[in-house]
């Protein structure tokens, strides 16, 4: 599976990076593909190869001559998580953003659903840390059920007591990247992360998280989630996010790549 996903990633990169008017979508996408830019909210999905063509045109209208580079793959069954960067020339230099795409692969090896977590409006000059900070993980491969249980316990604790979550799940020297937010929002160390989580919790009256897809491979676990929160002013918001975590030898999180999108309206279209 991993070797096949590597080849799939090469073809996917070519489809989204080519300047040709007719990329080879049929090579890697099912006829009934559903493509979704998650930041646009519910009801914004594109379907079929014609929908992909429209989606690609919209991407390239915002980011002309864009090139997509895969940074990391987390292969599961049937979902695959893909960390990538999108880069394009602008103003005599290069700008880009990181993103996280999710593929659901059918029995024929084609992508039947694809979700993008990215925000081109956050583009910035390309630097070495555009794709986040790489940290070394450890430990043996875990059973797929272990990854799902780990994520459920992590997010359940986050909803109930964020500082306790940091103590229970994060390594003292963790590097936390809010992807696309710039180097000023890199959090280094559990103490700094605990303080940030405490400040965030103080702004909320209640919070409830629903975990979506979960895939794990070796020391890496990736997942998506929707968080519904209510502030003291009564404002309600639903925030989608994708996460890619690197685990250490003791199963504590040593690296966290969080792709946090703008909150959806309280009543999104369905």
| 206 pLDDT higher than 90 | no
pTM metric for this prediction: 0.92
Residue 207: the pLDDT is 86
DSSP characters over 92-150 = TEEEEEEEEEEEEE-TTS-EEEEEEE--GGG-EE--TTTT-------SPPPPHHHHHHH
* Any domain includes 229: yes
| Residues 92-126 pLDDT 10s | 899 999 999 999 999 999 999 999 999 999 999 99
What is the residue range of 109's domain?
Answer: 2-125
* Any domain includes 55: yes
* Any domain includes 136: no
Residue ending a domain, choose from 70, 94, 125: 125
Q: Confidence band (pLDDT; 50, 70, 90) for 23?
A: confident
Residue 270: the pLDDT is 35
- The residue that leads in pLDDT, 266 or 129, is 129
Same domain for 174 and 212, yes or no, is: yes
Residues 138/219, Cβ–Cβ less than 8 Å: yes
> Stretch 141-166: mean pLDDT, rounded?
94
């Amino acid at each position: 599976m991993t070797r096949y996903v590597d080849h799939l990633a090469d073809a996917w990169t070519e489809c989204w990076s080519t300047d040709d008017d007719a990329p080879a979508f049929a090579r890697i996408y099912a006829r009934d593909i559903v493509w979704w830019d998650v930041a646009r909210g519910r009801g914004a999905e594109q379907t079929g190869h014609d929908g992909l063509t429209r989606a690609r045109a919209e991407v390239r209208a915002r980011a002309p001559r864009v090139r997509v580079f895969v940074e990391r793959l987390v292969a599961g069954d049937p979902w695959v998580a893909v960390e990538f960067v999108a880069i394009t020339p602008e103003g005599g230099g290069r700008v880009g953003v990181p993103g996280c795409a999710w593929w659901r692969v059918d029995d024929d090896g084609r992508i039947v659903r694809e979700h993008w977590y990215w925000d081109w409006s956050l583009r910035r000059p390309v630097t070495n840390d555009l794709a986040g900070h790489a940290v070394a993980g450890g430990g043996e491969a875990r059973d797929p059920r272990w990854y799902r249980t780990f994520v459920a316990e992590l997010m359940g604790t986050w909803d109930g007591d964020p500082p306790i979550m940091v103590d229970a799940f994060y390594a003292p020297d963790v590097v936390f990247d809010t992807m696309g937010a710039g180097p000023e929002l890199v959090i280094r160390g559990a103490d700094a992360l605990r303080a940030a989580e405490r400040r965030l919790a103080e702004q909320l009256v209640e919070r409830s998280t629903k975990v979506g897809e979960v895939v794990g491979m070796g020391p890496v676990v990736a997942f998506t989630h929707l968080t519904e929160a209510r502030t003291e002013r009564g404002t309600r918001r639903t925030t989608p996010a994708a996460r890619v975590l690197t685990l250490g030898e003791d199963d504590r999180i040593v690296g966290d790549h969080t792709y946090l999108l703008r909150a959806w309206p309280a009543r999104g279209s369905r």
